[in-house]
Chains A and B, each alone.
Chain A
Amino acid sequence: MTNKTVTRRGVLKSGAVAGAGVALPTIFTASSAAAYTNEPTGSSVVLGFNVPQTGPYAEEGNDELLAQQLAVEHLNGEGDGGCLNTFSSKALQGNGILGKKVEFVTGDTQTKSDAARASAKSMIEKDGAIMINGGSSSGVAVAVQGLCQEAGVIFMAGLTHANDTTGKDKKANGFRHFFNAYMSGAALAPVLAAEMGKERRAYHLTADYNWGWTQEESIVASTEALGWETVNTVKTPLASTDFSSYIAPVLNSGADVLVLNHYGGNMVNSLTNAIQFGLLDKVANGKDFKIVVPLYSELMAAGAGENIKGVLGSMNWNWQLQDEGTKAFVKSFGEKYGKPPSNSAQTCYAQTLLYADACERAGTFNPCGVVEALEDFEFDGLGNGPTWYRGADHQCFKDVLVVRGNENPTNAYDTLEIVEITPRAQVEYDPEHPMFAGGDLGQCNPGA
């Protein structure tokens, strides 16, 4: 039997040790009071919209921003609710996200990777943004996606079409709603075969950077599978403003189709130059000469003016679709801003709602919970028909549009007409497809 004496000094000593032991986790890990980066603690949650507000894609960025602001209104229960009324998931109630009012901050990507990373970093570190959404460039998307992965926030990409975004550069914290170059090729090929035949000789002019290369690779593969021959693939510097030196050799190359793997100002100028040289009036190999622009956008089509008449291309979405989701979004956007939305605006709007819905279904803003909720999520009612966010690479799979420059537009907005809605099954591919190989999603990073 032991004889223990309880003394005042002993109690104080024991109490101090026990107290220190209990307090230890919070003393040494004060910042880990938050379980993940920018965990919302107040009555609101901050989203970061990172779009080009200056530079050549400023108008596209502005359209994205308008759509993102509209999404915030709808999430907070303002306006007519837009696609909250048509979205197949009914988790969103118009009371913010998880009961917290949605606020937003904006950043200017300038369509430059370094500027885009800096603006995203600022929104995450200074403004407490819990998610980054938007952008109009694959280079920017890959750069910001990498940053978000490191920072432990979710990246919902805007307009990014290069295969690499969900291919070799994919990240667990990043998600792409927009379609990609492979899908453009897969959707366009049957229409090209039907309209131009299977014996064609194609000449490619390709913007000399990552997106151009992957698009050229995709279109060459899909057209050669049809039986087309690729006469030449010529890389053009991104800074080119006049393409006459590149167009002139096409005339006597033996080609009867010109594929312009260009976007933005490059596309407007190369298409204008091709029309000036009379390519569409030319007969080659006994066939009418044709031009294909695999990636279209409404704003670029407007810039190209009458030159796009009859020229085929592909899109992620178009305001002229007649499904209920599209009609609801076009009505909300059109009544608020007086014009129909572009396909980059639609993708940013859908991405904002998808993020909010994933938080609601996961019951948390924790990026790992959001990733789990978005992976292999099947939904409808946002304007693209039944859609699947594939877990293996975080790429959305949905119908793809083949469009043509309208021969007889009736107003400033119907410059493009929908030729075909290519079913989702036709543009699906294996996650290990060679054009997407080499990347690894890795693990979700909650940060903090």
Chain B
Amino acid sequence: MDAILLQILNGLDKGSAYALIALGLTLIFGTLGVVNFAHGALFMIGAFCAVTLQKVFNLSFQTIDETQTDFLGNPLKVETPYVEAWFGPELGATIIDWSVPLAILFAIPIMLLVGYVMERGLIKHFYKRPHADQILVTFGLAIVLQEIVKYFFGANPIQTPPPDVLSGSVDLGTMIGFDPNAIIYPIWRLVYFGFALAIIGAVFSFLQFTTFGMVVRAGMADRETVGLLGINIDRRFTIMFGIAAAVAGLAGVMYGPLNPPNYHMGMDFLVLSFVVVVVGGMGSLPGAVLAGFLLGILESFASTTWATTTIPGINQIIIYLVAIIVLLTRPRGLMGRKGVMED
């Protein structure tokens, strides 16, 4: 039982990342009708916003310590971060320690801007082109973005640890009546799950309870009629592209402490996220969230020793297997709407 609960937690955690990326993808598809293969790159850029802020906080000045030597036997250059010099060692160290959560504030305007520039500068020119053209151009853009990141940050993964107080693990088992050590789970993974729920809730609330959201939903249902009413729907859709980019970026910021960011992390998630969107139903926001968590949990269970010994290789094909079954039984996906990508 404890093992099952652990895998459900793992699945929810993986599903959080899938759902957040897929949410942005399906939002862009639902509003602009664009298949955005650069969406994984936005997730990666978000993670590197955290890396950048961490590097900024760690910018240091050098002093020479004559009592120690470096690897060549020269006097050791000791580096002291400016924030520690300016705010004192304790507050400076705390600021550095909290660089990932603080990066959320840094990433939001950056990602909105990146999304806006990407949509206005490139993607808007492909609205009336076939989906194949959109896929090619956005995939090319993703490669360009990841190579730019590699140029500045290198190919190695870069650690972005969580704040000390949120690192380590918690014994969840004892809280729900299990033996000690039965269900130990990393604190940051619980934080990530909670963060994902908050972002998903915020996006849904924004679309459901604001006038802006109402217009966007109306535009998704019937773009022409909304336009005939004198509403500049294109501008709102451009803003939605920026919001989708911010959602992917924030998912990346908070993902860094789980697995160290590297330049190709976006590509690792891209294909899976598309499968999530297709399984959930193209253009369906609840479908993307539902499919994200569902596939995350199934993937976790497929990785257990029992599953891999019963059906070798199941951990590598489970998501695609489920996608095939869903598409055979429900061709529009779990919550797909009639008419989307059917013309």
Given A55-B155, A268-B260, A276-B258, A340 contacting B71 (CB threshold 8 A):
yes
Q: Known interface pairs A237-B316, A245-B303, A340-B71. Does A251 touch B181 (Cβ–Cβ under 8 Å)? A: yes
Number of contacts between A and B (CB, 8 Å)? 121
Binds B, one of A30-38, A277-285, A309-317: A277-285
- Contact assessment for A242 and B157 in the assembled complex, using a CB-CB cutoff below 8 Å: no
Most buried by A among B72, B155, B156: B155
Instruction: Kindly state the separation between the CA atoms of A340 and B72 in the bound complex, as whole angstroms.
Output: 8
Q: How far is the CB of B306 from chain A (nearest CB, A)?
A: 9
A411 touches B303 (CB 8 A): no
What sequence of 0s and 1s flags, for each residue 247-288 of chain A, a beta carbon within 8 Å of any chain B beta carbon?
A: 011011000000000000100110011001110011000000
Residue in chain B with minimal CB distance to A307: B159
Say whether B10 contacts A248, CB under 8 Å: yes
Judged by DSSP, the binding face of A is helix
Q: Which of A56, A282, A319, A414 has the largest number of chain B CB atoms within 10 A?
A: A56
Given A237-B315, A273-B259, A277-B169, A244–B156 Cβ distance below 8 Å?
A: no
Inter-chain contacts of A252 with B (CB < 8 A): 2-3, 182
A278 touches B168 (CB 8 A): yes
B201–chain A nearest beta-carbon distance, Å: 24
Whether B6 pairs with A242 at a CB distance below 8 angstroms is no
- State A249–B259 Cα separation when bound (angstroms): 19
Write out the residue numbers on chain A whose beta carbons fall within 8 Å of the beta carbon of B182: 252
Nearest CB in chain A: distance from B130 CB, A: 30
For chain B, the count of residues having a C-beta within 8 Å of the partner chain is 47
Interface size on A, residues (CB 8 A): 49
B2 adjacent to A56 (CB under 8 Å): no
Contacts of A278 in B (CB 8 A): 168-169, 184, 186
* Minimum Cβ distance to chain B for residue A442 (Å): 34
Q: Which of A145-153, A217-225, A330-338, A432-440 is near enough to bind chain B?
A: A330-338
On whether the beta carbons of A303 and B158 are closer than 8 Å, the reply is yes
A448 at interface, CB cutoff 8 A? no
Q: Are the CB atoms of B155 and A56 closer together than 8 Å?
A: yes
Contact A248/B7 with A56-B264, A282-B181, A411-B70 known, Cβ cut-off 8 Å: yes
**Contact, CB under 8 Å: A245 / B185:** no
Q: Could you tell me the distance in whole angstroms from the C-beta of B187 to the nearest C-beta in chain A?
A: 9
B156 in contact with A245 (CB, 8 Å): no
A330 to B265 CA separation, bound complex (whole angstroms): 33
Q: Does A26 contact B (CB under 8 A)?
A: no
The answer to the question of B31 belonging to the interface, with a C-beta cut-off of 8 Å to chain A, is no
Query: What is the CA–CA distance of A146 and B28 in the complex, to the nearest angstrom?
Result: 48
Q: Which 7 A-B pairs have the closest CB atoms?
A: A305-B159, A245-B303, A278-B169, A276-B186, A58-B155, A303-B157, A248-B6
13 contacts across the A-B interface (CB closer than 8 A): A55-B155, A59-B156, A232-B305, A234-B308, A244-B10, A245-B303, A245-B315, A249-B304, A252-B182, A276-B258, A302-B156, A305-B159, A305-B260
| Interface positions of B (Cβ within 8 A of A) | 2-3, 6-7, 10-11, 13-14, 68, 70-72, 76, 150, 154-159, 161, 167-169, 181-182, 184-186, 188-189, 258-260, 262, 264-265, 268-269, 299-300, 303-305, 308, 315-316
Q: Which residues of A contact B (CB under 8 A)?
A: 54-59, 232, 234-235, 237, 239, 241-242, 244-246, 248-249, 251-252, 265, 268-269, 272-273, 276-278, 281-282, 299-300, 302-307, 319-320, 330-331, 334-335, 340, 410-411, 413-414
